[in-house]
Structure formats: structure tokens, C-alpha cells
Amino acid sequence: MDHPLIGLPIEDLDTPTLLLDGPACDRNVRRMAEFFRDRACRLRPHFKNHKCTALAHRQQQAGFTVGFTCAKLGEAEVLAAAGIRDLLIANQVVGRRKTARLIELAGRADLTVAVDHPEQIAALSEAASGAGVTVGVLVEVDVGMGRCGVAPGEPALELARLVVGRPGLRFRGLQAYEGHVVYQTDFDERARQVREAMRHALETRKLIEDRGIEVAAVSGGATSTYRITGALDGVDEIQAGTYPTMDWRYRQNAPEFEVALSILARVISRRAGLAVLDVGAKGVGSDFGPPRVKGYDVEIRLPLSEEHCIVRNAPDWPLGQTVELLPSHACTTCNLYRAMVVHADGRVADVWPIEGSGRLQ
């Protein structure tokens, strides 16, 4: 059955509402897929951006993908329930309950998980072999992010050897995320830093392969580095996430993609030069800067109130006027909503559930 909102002008929607410009999103998805058409490297989109299975299927249908990346086990469970089977959890899964969920999921999906410690390997092996399933493993190498991962070289080799020797596990390769450089604005400098960071991962790959251990994949990359990392010999998967929706901040580093995501908000109070909108920190991700109002040169200061956004230098908007806010961080914005309203030519084209929103476990 069609959704009752389909066909409505978007300004008639209740507010705040998460909007997705359908044609712009489709162009973004096609553009990224086309980059990988004639390359050995393939795309493994990061589900954490939108957490919406309808959009994930569109990314898959565009081609040149090997599966999906997830930040959390809960996201992988959502994708598996939607029929997407090749899943990478680009994170460490730790704890008895979470490991039990991981093993259950491995029984109905082709699952890979990142590790960076011998205790993780031991726990995963015991649980997987006990259940008669196999879990793929990527050893995470810290190439400069300073977050998870082991040092390149011998420490990564030692973990790879531990994985190879454990029942219930299949060593697949390395994860190396150059996230510390994705917001470097100058492209040439970003490219230099990416190549330097990924050099550590590629040298580690060679070390492991020279010791007779097959490395099927080196996985990493992002929306602002895919053209660099995705062109490196020895990188097999790019985990780009933000490109389908985009936000104004990330577009500064990936201008070939359009900002397709916005929040429809309404003016609920005003005075001379100032307007108050009915959405705040609980409805728009602002961790990389204040939201912007589409089509207007106005000022929004941080921090936002929980439920209000104060617009300074506002034009003479009447009460009830709707505007579109462009977030500075698409991923945290999508996680705040349970559905996105897809629009085209100013009208609602579809409504997609965001099944992964709030899936933090």
C-alpha cells in the first residue's frame, strides 16, 4: 500500500522531518558506483551513514559492491534481516552477550569482524567453533587514526598468525582506516597524507604474504578519499559511507557529490532579524559545525537548544514558514530519525524506514 504522504508538497509535511532529495541521492549513488566500474578495487558502502535498508538496496543495485560495512552489530542484524548477506563489522565485538549475537548472525550471513587483540581472537574462536560456524576476520592496523588497531608490521603479523591457527575463524586480511586525514581540505595534501598512511597497511600486507599467509582484502577508505585510496594497488575495498546523503561539511572535501539530506523545519517564533525553528540538537547533527539554511545566507550559532534553532539575520519569514536545514554531519542526523521522506520536484515520492536508527549495540 502506498504511504499516505506520497504526492504531498513537502511544505505541507509536519515538522521537523528528515528529507532526502531522491534524484540527487540517485546521482550520488551512481557516481560512486561508476568510479569502481573498471577497477579491481570494489565498494563496500558504510551503512552507518543512513541506516536505511531501502537505500542500501539501491546502492547494491548500482553495482560494483562486495557487501556492506557496519559500525555496530545491530546494524549488521538489520541488513541481514533485509536479505543482504556479505557484511563487515568494522569494529571490535567484545562481551559475552554481544559475541553470542555475532555467532547467531554468522549462521545466516557471511560475516567478517575486525580484531586488534589476542583476547578477542580467542573469544571469537571459542564461540564460533562451539556453534559450528565460521567468522571472517580482518586484523585492524592503526595507520594514524589513533583509535583501534595494532601497529603495522610485526604486531599485525602476529595477530594474523593467531587467527590462522584458530578453529571457527577465517583470516581475510587487514582493515586500515585513514580517518585522521578525511577532513584535510586541500586535495593534494590529503592525497599525500592518505598515501603515507596506507603505505603502512600495504607494507604490512606484503610482510604477511611473504610469510605465506594469504591476504584476500585490505579494506579502508572514505567518501573524501575513495579517489585516492581506491586507486592504490593492494587496496581491495573502500568503505565510503556519506556519499548517498552528504552534508554541507563533507561536501567541501567531496564536491562531486550533492547534499541530498535536509531537515524540514518551521518558524515558530520571530522578531526583527531573528527567527526560531522547531528543531534543535535532538533533530540535527551539528558536531562538525552549525546547520545551514538552504537558499539563505543567515547565521546559526552553536550550541543548539534541544528543540530550538535560533536563526540570526533572518529574513522576514512569517510564522509557519518552512525552511530546509542542511546538517554538518549526515550520519548523526540520520540516527535521530525513524524514517526519511524521499522527495522529487517538491513532492513526496516515498517514505523509507530507518531501521538501523538507535542501533548502538
pLDDT at 2: 85
pLDDT at 166 over 80: yes
Which of 181, 159, 183, 154 has its CA nearest to residue 171?
Answer: 159
Could you please state the CATH topology (level 3) that the domain comprising 36-243 is classified under. TIM Barrel (3.20.20)
The pLDDT tens digits of the residues spanning 14-59 come to 999 999 999 999 999 999 999 999 999 999 999 999 999 999 999 9
The pLDDT tens digits of the residues spanning 285-342 come to 999 999 999 999 999 999 999 999 999 999 999 999 999 999 999 999 999 999 999 9
Torsion angle in degrees (nearest 10) through CA of 5, 349, 251, 225: 120
The pLDDT tens digits of the residues spanning 183-194 come to 999 999 999 999
Homologous superfamily of 10-17+255-353 in CATH? D-serine dehydratase-like domain (2.40.37.20)
Cβ–Cβ under 8 Å, residues 31 and 256: yes
pLDDT at 182 over 70: yes
Mean pLDDT across 215-236:
98
Residue 188 CB burial class (10 angstroms; 0-12, 13-18, ≥19): exposed
Provide CATH 3.20.20.10 ranges for the chain.
36-243
pLDDT at 129: 97
pLDDT at 151 over 80: yes
Provide CATH 2.40.37.20 ranges for the chain.
10-17+255-353
pLDDT at 1: 58
Give percent of the chain with pLDDT exceeding 90. Answer: 99
The pLDDT tens digits of the residues spanning 71-108 come to 999 999 999 999 999 999 999 999 999 999 999 999 99
Distance CA 253, CA 243 (A): 11
pLDDT at 84: 97
Distance CA 199, CA 74 (A): 32
Distance CA 252, CA 274 (A): 28
CA distances from 183 to 179, 187, 251, 254 (A): 8, 10, 10, 10
pLDDT at 207 over 70: yes
pTM: 0.96
Cβ–Cβ under 8 Å, residues 221 and 143: no
